[in-house]
Amino acid sequence: MDPQRDPIRVVFVLLPDSLVLDWAGPAEALRIANQRLRAAGQAERFVIEFAGPRPTIKGSVGVALSGLAPLPTRWDGPGWVVLVGLPGDTIATDNPEAQDLLHWLRGQRFSRGGVELVTVCAGALLAAHAGALAGRRVTTHHHHLDELRAVEPRCEVVSNRVFVIDAPVYSSAGVTTGIDLMLHLVAGTCGEALAAQVAQAMVVALRRGPHDPELSPFLAYRNHLHAALHRVQDAVSEQPQADWNVPRMAEVAHTSARHLTRLFVEHAGVAPLAYLRRLRLAAAQLALASGASVTRAAEVSGFGSDTQLRRAWHQFGLPGSPSAGVSTPAR
């Protein structure tokens, strides 16, 4: 089996009083991703588990959680360990459950493409106490930034970020930003189009990531609730190379071409063909980044020729040329 298509085992590690939104939101994103993959006739990519030092805990809002699995003793493929936040001005680790977790974390070997570490909110403090963040760029909830610097002075603490990527460590600022981070990971695993569908289903504001403040065209222009327009955007983002025009898009929306144009401008803030060109340019950049020639990148992204790709490249202000290298996807 292609290792890039192996299911990813995602283990949410929970301690007593774990913040419910820190794990429930990201877990729902993965559940919806699996649901959308099944609906498309594809295999699920995420095996979701909940584990902890104790089989039963009480969450941050008082709900009792039982049936937690023991902390994993072996991994047979790729995996994500997800550490979540706890209430309090500081994160206490002087209790038996936290000590058991830290002992277990110190025995893990995190590697890119193997078992990777995902932290939400003050989950980064648990990782820091275990020595898992030395030499890494990380973030956490703004209330815990100084605490994180004190616990692990060997890491670079980044403030004012939604999340920070330093594979195999992925850290988010907390609460709803854990969903943003999980959407980013879903995009990297299953593609930008699926991540956009998951975000749409969850009705969340779409943000890209820490190193690029620009929104990917696959995720941009989606912060609205118009169902017909989302259908069109789903269809176009899944196959930007198809023979799209405004009338064909209008067929997907079950409306007229003129009305569809009004919907795009009113709800997405962009004309339909401009939206299509941005997606095609982003698809071409991804192809170039994967080693494709300019001709092949133009073909797979839906541009009719090298010339059309080069024209779009300069139209959207990308530096250099397609053959000279790959820049950040255009807005």
Angle of helix 272-289 versus helix 294-301 axis, rounded to 10 = 140
What pLDDT, on a 0 to 100 scale, did the predictor assign at position 95? 95
How far is Cα 211 from Cα 263, in angstroms, rounded to an integer?
A: 32
* CATH topology for the 214-331 domain: Arc Repressor Mutant, subunit A (1.10.10)
How far is Cα 48 from Cα 31, in angstroms, rounded to an integer?
A: 8
Average pLDDT, integer, range 92-106: 97
How far is Cα 169 from Cα 123, in angstroms, rounded to an integer?
A: 12
Q: What is the pLDDT of residues 295-319, one digit of tens each?
A: 999 999 999 899 999 999 988 888 7
What pLDDT, on a 0 to 100 scale, did the predictor assign at position 283? 87
What are the structure tokens assigned to 182, written together?
């999980």
How far is Cα 210 from Cα 300, in angstroms, rounded to an integer?
A: 28
At residue 83, the 3 state secondary structure works out as strand
How far is Cα 99 from Cα 102, in angstroms, rounded to an integer?
A: 5
Q: What is the pLDDT of residues 220-271, one digit of tens each?
A: 787 777 888 988 998 998 889 999 999 999 999 999 999 999 999 998 889 9
Greater model confidence, 323 or 235: 235
Q: What is the pLDDT of residues 211-234, one digit of tens each?
A: 433 346 676 787 777 888 988 998
Average pLDDT, integer, range 192-209: 73
What are the structure tokens assigned to 142, written together?
């703004």
Rounded to 5 degrees, what angle do the CA atoms 197, 222, 248 make?
A: 80
Q: For residue 279, how far is the Cα from the chain centroid?
A: 18
Average pLDDT, integer, range 176-204: 87
Average pLDDT, integer, range 19-33: 95
**Domain segments of the chain as ranges:** 3-194, 214-331
What pLDDT, on a 0 to 100 scale, did the predictor assign at position 207? 44
Q: What are phi and psi of 121, to 5 degrees?
A: 60, -130
Q: What is the pLDDT of residues 135-158, one digit of tens each?
A: 999 999 988 999 999 999 999 998
Residue 110 DSSP label: -
* CATH code assigned to 3-194: 3.40.50.880
